[in-house]
């Protein structure tokens, strides 16, 4: 999570408003979609960060892209960001919102990194272990393939990392041999 005071303040305010309106799940989906757009579209990111594009034009483009698919709270929130000249913080706000949402719903985020695709059995075992360690909380599992780790797994649960990759083991052996 990014601790920028601005992004934290806006993310918390958006989550609180979403909870009050009972649309926190929809807004979370909007934030995930927005984060994906920002990460995958350099043009959209440039639009958000551009001081040359008029505020009204930014809102118009945002509405044309997202209004039909997003909750009204999300589109209204973007208008507030633009009005307050904070739209360049949208990426960090999306990330912080997702973090605050996960905390509010007691969701543990687990990321598996492996050199090859993991079986559903391995994923279920890791999910069950994370639930057990997390006190029965919900688990949100994501899987990443990284051939550079050679073999084994890296499992990240929240801020704890369990590294059982071949790459790390080889690095440890190399250090011991020095």
Residue 136 has pLDDT above 80, yes or no: no
Domains annotated for the chain, with CATH where assigned, are 5-103 (1.10.520.20), 106-177 (3.30.1330.20)
Mean model confidence pLDDT for the chain = 92
Alpha-carbon torsion 35, 38, 40, 44, what sign? positive
**CB contact set of 106 (below 8 Å; sequence gap of 6+):** 134, 137, 138
Residue 2 has pLDDT above 60, yes or no: no
Average the pLDDT over 148-166 and give the result.
91
Residue 85 has pLDDT above 80, yes or no: yes
Would you state the pLDDT for residue 129? 87
Residue 75 has pLDDT above 90, yes or no: yes
**Reported confidence tier of residue 138, pLDDT bands at 50, 70, 90:** confident
Place of tokens 């360690």: 133
Predicted TM-score of the model (pTM):
0.79
pLDDT in tens, 105-114: 988 889 999 9
Rounded to 5 degrees, φ, ψ at 76 are -65, -40
Query: Are the CB atoms for 130 and 110 separated by under 8 Å?
Result: yes
pLDDT in tens, 12-58: 999 999 999 999 999 999 999 999 999 999 999 999 999 999 999 99
């Amino acid at each position: 999570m990014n601790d920028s005071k601005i992004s934290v303040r806006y993310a918390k305010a958006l989550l609180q408003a979403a909870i009050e309106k009972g649309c926190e799940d929809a807004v979370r989906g909007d934030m995930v979609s927005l984060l994906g757009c920002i990460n995958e579209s350099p043009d959209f990111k440039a639009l958000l960060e551009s001081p040359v594009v008029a505020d009204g034009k930014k809102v118009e483009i945002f509405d044309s892209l997202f209004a039909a698919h997003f909750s009204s709270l999300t589109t209204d929130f973007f208008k507030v960001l633009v009005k307050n000249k904070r739209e360049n913080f949208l990426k960090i706000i999306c990330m912080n919102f997702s973090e605050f949402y996960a905390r509010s719903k007691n969701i543990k985020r687990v990321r598996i990194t492996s050199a090859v695709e993991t079986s559903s059995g391995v994923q279920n075992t890791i999910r069950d272990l994370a639930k057990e360690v997390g006190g029965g909380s919900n688990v949100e599992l994501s899987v990443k393939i990284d051939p550079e780790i050679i073999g084994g797994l890296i499992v990240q649960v929240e801020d704890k990392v369990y590294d059982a990759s071949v790459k790390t083991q080889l690095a440890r052996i190399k250090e011991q041999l020095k």
